[in-house]
A and B are shown apart, each in its own frame.
Chain A
C-alpha cells in the first residue's frame, strides 16, 4: 500500500470522535475544562437572573411534581419501548424485503418492482399521523373476523408501514452503493443471485447505512408517541393526564427527558459500531 493510503487511515482514526475533537495532551484538556465551566456558569447566571425565570421554573421544572410524575410516566414509557422495539424488528426485515424486491432484475419481475416503488411512494407521502388514524380507527371499524381490534396492534402496524418505506430507501441506497464488481466476483464463484445478496451485497450495504438507519430509528422512537392518539396510554399520553391534573408542564419535561435518555445511548452505540468496523477492516488489524 502506498504512503498516501497510510496517512489516509491515520486521519480516519483521529476523526473517530467529533465532539472531543483534537483533545490531546493534559494542557489542552485543562483549557477545554476551564472554558466549558466558565461558559456554562455564565449561561446559568444570565438565565437565573433574567426576568421571567421564576415563572418558567415553576411551570416546567417543578422538582416535587417531577418526582411525583416520573414513576408514572416512566412506567408508561415502557409501552413506548415495547412499541418501537417490536416495530424496529419488523421494519428491519420488511424494509429489506422491499429494497431487495425493488432491485430484482428482468422484465418478468417488473410487477414486483412496480409494487415496491408504489409502496415507498405511498407511505412516504402520507403523514404518519394520518396512517395511524386510518388504520387505528378504520380497521377495527370494519369488524372483519380474524382482524385484531387492538389500537396498539394497528398503531404498531401503521408505524411499521410508514417507517419501512423510509428504511427501504435507505437500504436501497446502501445496496446500490456496493460496486457491481462485487456482484461479479461473487457470481463468478458460482454463488446464486440470492447468495450473493445475502453474503456479499447486503452485509456491505447494511454497514454503510447504519448512521441513516439509526437516524430513522430515532424518528421512530419519537413517533411512538403518536400511537397515543388512538388510545394506548404511553408516556406522552400519561404526561398529558398528569399535566391536566396539575396545570403544570413538568410531566412533559419528564417525558422529554426519557426520550432523550433513550436516543443518546443509541447514537453513541452507532458511533462505536462504525468505528469498530472501520478499525477492523483497515487500520486496527484482525481480532
Chain B
C-alpha cells in the first residue's frame, strides 16, 4: 500500500446499546483519498460504526481521530466535527418540507454562513454536475429514489467534507436505480474523495474500494485489498459470509 496521510483513525472503539455490545474494539485507519468498504452481515455494526465517526452516537471507549485530531474528547465541538464529515443514509433522510435546492443550501447558509446567492450558485452547480439541475425546485417526495439519494449525496458534498461516510446508500433503491447512484460514488472516488462505505454491493466494492474490511460481531475480522478478500479470504467467517453472498447471487 502506498504511504499516505491518515484521514481517519479509530482506536479500540467500543459501543454498546444497553447490554448489547455492538462494537467490540474496532481499529481502523483510513488514508487520505482512500476508499474503504465495510462489508459484513446484517447487525454486525456497520451503521453504528459510521454513526460513531459522525458523532451521532457517543462511543463508550476508545478514540477516533480526524486528520490527527481527536474528535472523541469530551470538550470537542461536535457541530464543527460534523461540518467536516459528510454522511449519507440508507433512507436518504431528505427534508420533505424543503425544495431540493433548500435541502442542499440549508447547512451551507445556516452553518457555514455563506451568502444566499453564493450558496445557491454552488448548490446549483453541484446539482448540475450530478444531473439534477432540473429538479432544484422540486420537493423530495416527487423524485425517484435514485434521484433522492443523489440529492442526499449532493447535500453532504455541498459542505465540502474531508471525509464521506456512506451507509448502504443503495439498499433502499429499486434495482434499476442502483447504478445511477453507484456511478456518482465512483465519480467521487475518482475525484479523490476519502470515503468509508458500508455496502452489500460486493461487485461495487470490488471495483471501487482500495480496501475492504469484513466486520463481524463488532470487530474488523479481516481486511485487505478487495481482490484478496474476495478471492482468498483467510478467516472461515469471511469465507462463510462470502459463500452466502455468492449463493444469493450478489457477487
- Check if B79 is an interface residue, CB within 8 A of chain A: yes
Which of the segments A48-56, A157-165, A189-197 contacts the partner chain?
Answer: A189-197
Cβ of B174 within 8 Å of any chain A Cβ, yes or no, is yes
**Which of A169-177, A199-207, A228-236 has 4 or more CB atoms under 8 Å from chain B?**
A199-207
Given contacts A182-B95, A184-B93, contact A195 B110 (CB under 8 A): yes
**What 0/1 readout, one digit per residue, does chain B (16-58) give for beta carbons within 8 Å of chain A?**
0000000000000000000000000000000000010010100
Beta-carbon nearest neighbor of B82 in chain A: A190
Give bound CA distance, A186 to B97, whole Å: 13
Which residues of the partner chain B approach A75 to less than 8 Å between Cβ atoms? none
- CB <8 Å contact, B97 and A203: yes
Chain B residue nearest in CB terms to A1: B144
Interface residues on A, range: 20 to 34
Q: Are A282 and B142 in contact (CB under 8 A)?
A: yes
Contact B97 A189 (CB under 8 A): no
**Does B96 make an interface contact (CB < 8 A)?**
yes
A173 to chain B, nearest CB (A): 17
List the A side residues contacting B93 at CB < 8 Å. 181-182, 184-185
Residue of B nearest to A278 (CB): B141
The number of chain B residues touching the other chain, given as a range, is: 20 to 34
State which of A182, A185, A199, A285 has its C-beta within 8 Å of the C-beta of B142: A285
User: What chain B residues lie within 8 Å of A82 (beta carbons)?
Assistant: none
Q: Given the complex of chains A and B, what is the CA–CA distance between A182 and B89 in angstroms?
A: 11
B66 → A minimal CB distance (Å): 13
Which chain A residues lie closer than 8 Å to B80 at the CB level? 190
Do residues A286 and B106 form an inter-chain contact, with CB atoms below 8 A?
no
In the bound complex, residues from chain A placing their C-beta under 8 Å from that of B137 are: 286
Whether a CB of chain A sits under 8 angstroms from the CB of B65 is no
Interface of A is mostly: helix
In contact, A188 and B82 (Cβ under 8 angstroms): yes
Q: Which of B91, B139, B145 contacts A280 (CB 8 A)?
A: B139
Whole-angstrom CA separation of A190 from B87 in the bound complex: 11
A31 vs B139: C-alpha distance in the bound complex, in angstroms? 40
The answer to whether the Cβ of A2 comes within 8 Å of any Cβ in the partner chain is yes
Q: How far is the CB of A45 from chain B (nearest CB, A)?
A: 51
Q: Mark B188-208, 1 if CB is under 8 A from A, else 0.
A: 000000000000000000000
A191 and B142 within 8 A (CB)? no
Beyond A204-B95, A286-B99, 15 extra complex contacts between A and B, CB < 8 Å: A182-B93, A182-B95, A185-B89, A187-B56, A188-B54, A188-B156, A189-B82, A191-B107, A191-B111, A192-B79, A200-B106, A281-B96, A281-B97, A285-B142, A286-B142
Task: Provide 12 A-B residue pairs closer than 8 Å at the C-beta atoms, listed in order of the A residue.
Answer: A184-B93, A185-B93, A188-B54, A188-B85, A188-B87, A189-B107, A189-B155, A190-B82, A191-B106, A282-B142, A285-B142, A286-B138
